[in-house]
Amino acid sequence: MDCCGLLTLQKEPVPLKSIEVELEVRDHVATVVSTLNYENKEDKPLEAVFVFPLPGDAAVCHFSAQIGQTQIVAEVKEKQKAREEYDDALSSGQQAFLLEESDQSPDIFSLRVGSLPPGESASIRLEYVTELAVQADDGLRFCLPAVLNPRYQPQDSEDPLFQVTSVPASLVPYSLSFSARVSSPRPVSKVESNCSLDPLQYLNTDQTQATVKLATGHKFDRDVELLIYYKDAHQPTAVVEAGQASAEPGSLMGDPVVMVSLYPEFPQSVMSSTASCGEFVFLMDRSGSMDCATNNTEQKETRISSAKDTLLLLLKSLPMGCYFNIYSFGSSYEHIFPKSVEYGEKTMEEALKKVEQMKADLGGTEILESLKHIYSQPCIPTQPRQLFVFTDGEVGNTKEVIDLVKKNSGSHRCFSFGIGEGASSALINGVAKEGGGHAQFITGTDRMQPKVMQSLHFSLQPAVEDVSVTWDLPKGSTITVLSPPITSLFQGQRSLIYAQLTGQSSEAAEGCVTLKYSLAGHPSENQLHFSLRPAADSGLIVHRLAARTLICLLEMEAENNQEKEEVKKKVVQLSVQSGVSSSFTAFIVVNSDNNKEIQGPLLHRDIPMPDVYRSCTSFVCDSAAMFEEIEAEDRCLMDFCCLYSMDGEFPPAKKPLRDPLLQLVSLQKASGCWLLDPALAAALRKTNEEVEKSKPEKASSEVWATILALIWLHGFKMDAKDEWELLAAKAVSWLSAQKAPSVTECVEAGNILLGCSVQKTALGL
């Protein structure tokens, strides 16, 4: 086995010297400008190839090259034509630059810098726009993917153009500078990040504009994630953007486009009665990469251990009478039960024992076959299927996976969770969007549990039915909706709609959009009135996001259409007109002004990406059997093992202490109660004698134990209420059903024992 790959890479000069990123956030959309600075310090001309990630839903809308004083702006062309033009330019001694999206996944791009002469520099400018997703705590998430891990490629689907060259984060030879400007109609309350930032600087007194910078010395061991918080974030809005003056009237780019953000508010009467049924299917990634640490803290909790803790919380929070099953996948897949079983004490305990034994030992990330098996299982009448997918999201056949979820979207809702750095945003967002669910990303020091429990809350909300969107516009104005129909709505979550406006209207004219739906048999509607006057200084952000939305719809249609070539022509035409990237087009720049032909054969240089796997030291690689298990995505782990073994043994991994909350939760029964035993006393940090002695005489052991657990949760873990709220509600329901006469005495005695002052009403009793 070749253990010298990293050493060879270190010796090769890397022509990429620095990356500068400028982010501009306006409310909940972002424009990102990246400048990549190249310099050839070798004595022969170069071709440099850089494979890197972008957000999966980004609309790449500008690509240009600056050589000396000359700037050349790229054109969008059909992909094969662009590739041929690039090859022709290089063979004739001209400089050329090619930017294209992977055929397999819309969040991976390849940038080719061709014929960079000795001693010459070039700056590549890349611009994209993207929507910002709303997180569990109402923050808007922007992620600059600085990490691209090797994507697991299923057999027969390798894309030779998109093989990733990677090195440990500490060996990345280029620097990154990052600055952001945030503006909104509402005050910016704070900006947080998983990376070190310079202090937030407000630009005006009402705090609606601010700037922030990445502190120097970014280590490339993580994606750069910003969480932006506004005051009163859940306000429905509509932005009308004027068309491009040079574009043809009646075309998407020539007409005004409106972007509507809706935050439906469900009636309280419906929300207070969450569903007590459903089939909950949990699909867990057990590929080798799940053994990596979830963050860079000293505790080094692995992704798989965090996912197992999360499964514990989920299983304890499920309602009695529902059905569930747990699948896991790697190169193959496994299931705990042959088919979904009814939730009860026996099945819950059996599942928890199997979860405790789970390891990241199933090889590569082959999610497709496990999904096919799940969808082949018949649905259970009156038990709506809810699928929860946990993965670090490194697959090569993203589009195929999303397409499968879409085909089965009528039978279930899909909730997805991207774990760790480098997770594919295209995969995580795509399966949730097509599956009518919700996507979450768990990175840095995030705890997985609150985000997952929010999604469980969503899954317990009744599914909306009969969703319709109607528009009321002045006479002479018409609207064409560009977004796919809304199929899923959740309390407090944003729904975005893009639409093209045609016809004339006065500047004072007003439009109205009405969202109607049925929820648990109750008809509801939300309405938004908005001005048709175009916003000032909005550029073409909304048009480009609308174009990207339409392109994605057409690309999906092309996958399943007999007239694929016709649909492909539509995509290419729209991509060229809007200047927005697609899987069928590429950006091409040829420096035809360069009169001097570049002589000599080109040296090929792959620009390496940082690879966080190489920081993963939580396993031992002293047997040939392990090497046989690891699939394509984990080759870099083996490289690391070889390098490490030259210097000595792995340090023994420290076993983290069990979280006190999870310790208490693990003791809860499926019905919602706790038993009075030494394990409960230990979880409460008391002796068994103290707990027994304090029990009111008339109280049953189970009632006393359950009230003690509830008091401890409210008294010591209110900061984690999102995590235990559902299982506490189950405990309260169990207590209510017991009609116990001594609840008040138990609450009083429990407060004295635990040193708390929790009111009976606060417990929900």
In this predicted model, what pLDDT tens digit does every residue of 202-255 receive, in sequence order?
A: 999 999 999 999 998 887 778 888 999 998 777 888 999 999 988 988 899 999
String of DSSP letters for 175-195: EEEEEEEEE-SS-EEEEEESS
Find residue 282's DSSP bridge partners. Answer: 326, 388
Tokens of 280: 């909950």
Distant-in-sequence, close-in-space partners of 506: CB < 8 Å, separation ≥ 6? 474
Q: Which residues contact 762 (CB under 8 A, 6 or more apart)?
A: 714
* pLDDT at position 151: 61
H/E element, 571: helix 564-578
pLDDT for 507: 67
Report the distance separating Cα 73 and Cα 591, nearest Å: 10
Q: Would strands 585-591 and 495-502 be described as parallel, antiparallel, or unpaired?
A: unpaired
Q: Find, among 416, 492, 420, 426, the residue nearest to 455 by Cα.
A: 416
Output the pLDDT for position 152.
Answer: 55
- Burial profile 20-36: b = 16 or more Cβ within 10 angstroms, e = fewer: bbebbbbbbbbbbebbb
Scored b (16 or more CB within 10 A) or e, 183-211 reads ebeebbeebebbbebeebeeeeeebbebb
Q: What is the 3-state secondary structure (H, E, C) of 294-352?
A: CCCCCCCCEHHHHHHHHHHHHHHHCCCCCEEEEEEECCCEEECCCCCEECCHHHHHHHH
Containing 553, the helix (H) or strand (E) segment is helix 541-559
d(CA 631, CA 327): 20
- Strands 609-611, 166-168: pairing is parallel
Strand order in the sheet with 95-101: 75-78, 585-591, 95-101, 108-116, 46-53, 603-607
The residues of the chain scoring below 70 in pLDDT are 1-11, 136, 148-163, 270-276, 295-300, 394, 444-446, 492, 505-507, 538, 560-561, 594-596, 600, 612-658
pTM of the model: 0.79
Q: DSSP of 196-233, one letter per residue?
A: -BPPPEESSTT--EEEEEBPS---SSS-EEEEEEETT-
| Dihedral, CA of residue 673, residue 678, residue 682 and residue 687, to nearest 10 | 120
Q: What is the C-alpha radius of gyration for the chain, rounded to an integer number of angstroms?
A: 28
Delineate the domains of the chain, giving CATH numbers in brackets. 5-152+160-235+580-607 (2.60.40.1730), 237-262+464-554 (2.60.40), 278-383+385-460 (3.40.50.410), 660-754 (no CATH)
**Smallest Cα–Cα separation from 113: which of 52, 54, 177?**
52
